[in-house]
Structure 1
Amino acid sequence: MPQGDAPFKEQVYEIVARIPSGRATTYGAIARALGHPRGAREVGWALNAVPEGSRLPCHRVVDRDGRLSGGWAFGHPEVMAGRLEDEGVPFLEQYRVDLSTCFWDPAAADDPQQLGLFHAPCNDG
């Protein structure tokens, strides 16, 4: 879990870097894991500040109901959707991921199942 003395933006980046391929989390879940339960918007601002070309998997962060909200960062939701589809993240409908099967909870990130060690990838069924 991120260190309390690191700037908020850096803590957000640390969590996002840990999201496993094939999983997705929400802005609100990241905010809650950082002790800011009403800080989802600030998480979004932090991710919007990620430099273009960064390897940070920002495409794995969606809004609270699974909708892709990275249009500003990715230019169009299709780009974000394509990256998630390539990782096997299932969709309920266009531009809305199925969080019931692929949600990754950063607050429980030390749980082996959250790390994907004992959990089948989403695209396996």
Structure 2
Amino acid sequence: MVSSVTEGVKVSVKTEYQSDYSSPLQAHYVFTYRITIENASDYTIQLLRRHWTIFDSNGTIREVEGEGVVGLQPVLEPGEVHQYVSGCNLRSSMGKMAGTYLVERIIDGKQVRVAIPEFTMIVPYKLN
């Protein structure tokens, strides 16, 4: 698991290879990632947008941007945690992702880009 903190907002990521949904012979590798967002700041925040950069070891780079996460724009009071699971498919057995969330403080509307730490997606047999 990897983590980073930006202005009191901690983002942690854990990945898992999904062999049942992958097909290495067709260069199709599926990974899931569990994101935990912890609001350790003194302010209520709302997650508005996400931006991802996805690097595939075959040289492909993709950008994904949009509102919220998995259809939600969660509001987190100080001390609250939000978790969700999403996925990524690659054309090779290794890759990595990193990005940012745009969050807004409810009290004054200040917007902050919260770092999502870079994490790797590697099929388990590559680690042997």
Structure number with bigger Rg: 2
Fold in common (TM above 0.5): no
TM-score by length of 2: 0.28
Structure with the higher helix share, 1 or 2: 1
Structure in which a larger fraction of residues adopt strand: 2
